[in-house]
Structure 1
């Protein structure tokens, strides 16, 4: 029995990263420590999610933008954190993805939102503003001047072009969310709590340090999220190794379930690690963090 399909198989699959690409990013080649790279990628994905919400974009568009953002940094041919600022790549990935969707957004809207989210005084994001946001932040702290808009627009367009070139102009992103709903129907699961947990796991996996959306196909992500959600909610699924019907083997299922379960702990550990200082989102701040670590190691 073949797995249910929604359209052509090509539309339901993604280009996956190779083991070499995963172990040799451009950032690591340029001397960015692995744990720092992981933290910055995590913050960049969170930034993209927050910006998408403020821009009132559909979650599907936001998720596709996060996958595009993630792909950009993979492999020695990808972008380096010592050359490109995460904030610029995040904004360009979101702008470009929205532009290709049914709900495009303007450069001004994107830049206004990012100016707020990157404000050291007004941002509601813990990794930008560790001290917390005032109840009524001063509008001057997140005001985008006309000159700032014009220069920001040039950076936005230039970064969009760089992303497209780096990805070989392949902007296709297949998501597991709709596939998961089809699988739930096929399995006869109608409990809303299961579907809700499935979507929560799929959305949190966008932030995974294991880069689940570029290492596994949507069908495997969907099956694994269903397996985990059903177990958490206490819903019994059909007997037998049903996930194999959806072309997901036991090894992938086990890895993905463990990875999805670990997301909450990973996010909490990152917050504790960066509790008193922001995560660097621009090249100069990345350089400063690398230098700070070097000085600490040498006891200067």
Structure 2
């Protein structure tokens, strides 16, 4: 395979310094709050992409770009850029670069629905739960004035994302690689392939940022390993993962990371029970001030 071909199957990974020193942390955002907001933003992107009818490939790429945006001291800060705006711009940009472009109006109407505490089905936006009946269209369609203002914000944040990422929007995903590996291993049961894809999609929400710290081939191998164990499928003898250029230590880390996501999400839902995760700058500032006052009151 040519060097160009190899590049298309790999990603530029986050450096240790980018992982330990984000712009948000420098601006005083507690690490646990930063993680909660980042994971909520990934869920928001996923849900918005589904409502817009985008492919999972497009949605996954948008989540990776959204995640990359916040990395490092030179990345975006949650104290400056609203999570919902970055999510919307990442999804709009990714769709625009694909065979499934979607209009700014469609994107903004969907985000208005999802970010409303009255109409949203998302637990971290609407703690009361999704309404029993579908919300009236006029409750989330933007007026012309609101739309024009939101459109300017969308396009501005899109340009900020491109600048911070150095215009590098390439994202290699592990899904197709994993299916190819399954065929190579002779694991052709549909249930195994389905579980592999489920693990890869869930890993997009990982608090360990698995998609920006490990290459697609390693993510694919870890998802296959987990799915095969869960479905009781014996793969080939020996350290088969080494054939796909993954060592035991990396495999172990990824498997633990993927398996820990369910517990992490349960803890998040308990921690934020009856509260909303701040997705805009003003709400984040209020949450940080609330925490400060609680500490000072102790």
TM-score (norm 2): 0.97
Shift of the alpha carbon at 1:133? 2.3
Once residues 229 and 139 of structure 1 are traced to their aligned partners in structure 2, the CA distance between those partners, rounded to angstroms, is 41
Structure 2 residue aligned with 1:202? 200
Map 1:72-87; keep pairs closer than 5 Å.
Answer: 72-87=69-84
Once residues 189 and 233 of structure 2 are traced to their aligned partners in structure 1, the CA distance between those partners, rounded to angstroms, is 8
Structure 2 residue aligned with 1:244? 242
SS in structure 2 at match of 1:156: helix
1:223–1:253 CA contact under 8 A, matched in 2: yes
**RMSD of equivalent CA atoms:** 1.3
- Of 46, 51, 54, the residue aligned with 1:54 is 51
CA deviation profile, 1:200-221 (whole Å, cap 9, x unmatched): 1000000000000000000000
- Of 37, 41, 50, the residue aligned with 1:40 is 37
CA deviation profile, 1:126-168 (whole Å, cap 9, x unmatched): 1100011222335443231111110000000000000000000
- Of 85, 95, 99, the residue aligned with 1:98 is 95
1:48–1:65 CA contact under 8 A, matched in 2: yes
Structure 2 residue aligned with 1:277? 275
CA deviation profile, 1:90-128 (whole Å, cap 9, x unmatched): 000000000000110000000010010011111111110
Once residues 216 and 133 of structure 1 are traced to their aligned partners in structure 2, the CA distance between those partners, rounded to angstroms, is 35
Q: Which range moved further: 7-16 or 140-149? A: 140-149
Once residues 97 and 36 of structure 1 are traced to their aligned partners in structure 2, the CA distance between those partners, rounded to angstroms, is 27
1:205–1:260 CA contact under 8 A, matched in 2: yes
1:55–1:113 CA contact under 8 A, matched in 2: yes
Once residues 150 and 81 of structure 1 are traced to their aligned partners in structure 2, the CA distance between those partners, rounded to angstroms, is 24
SS in structure 2 at match of 1:120: coil
Structure 1 residue aligned with 2:228? 230
CA deviation profile, 1:229-265 (whole Å, cap 9, x unmatched): 1001000000000101101111100000000001111
Structure 1, unmatched stretches of 5+, are: none
Structure 2 residue aligned with 1:131? 128
Map 1:20-31; keep pairs closer than 5 Å.
Answer: 20-31=17-28
Shift of the alpha carbon at 1:45? 0.2
1:119–1:141 CA contact under 8 A, matched in 2: no
Once residues 147 and 247 of structure 1 are traced to their aligned partners in structure 2, the CA distance between those partners, rounded to angstroms, is 54
Once residues 45 and 199 of structure 1 are traced to their aligned partners in structure 2, the CA distance between those partners, rounded to angstroms, is 17
Structure 1 residue aligned with 2:157? 159
SS in structure 2 at match of 1:8: helix
Once residues 173 and 160 of structure 1 are traced to their aligned partners in structure 2, the CA distance between those partners, rounded to angstroms, is 16
Once residues 289 and 43 of structure 1 are traced to their aligned partners in structure 2, the CA distance between those partners, rounded to angstroms, is 15
Structure 2 residue aligned with 1:267? 265
CA deviation profile, 1:24-82 (whole Å, cap 9, x unmatched): 00000111000000000010000000000000000000000000000000000000000
Flag as ranges the 4+ runs of structure 1 deviating above 4 A: none
Once residues 140 and 57 of structure 1 are traced to their aligned partners in structure 2, the CA distance between those partners, rounded to angstroms, is 23
TM-score (norm 1): 0.97
Structure 2 residue aligned with 1:143? 141
1:55–1:110 CA contact under 8 A, matched in 2: yes
Once residues 248 and 51 of structure 1 are traced to their aligned partners in structure 2, the CA distance between those partners, rounded to angstroms, is 33
- Report how many residues are paired: 296
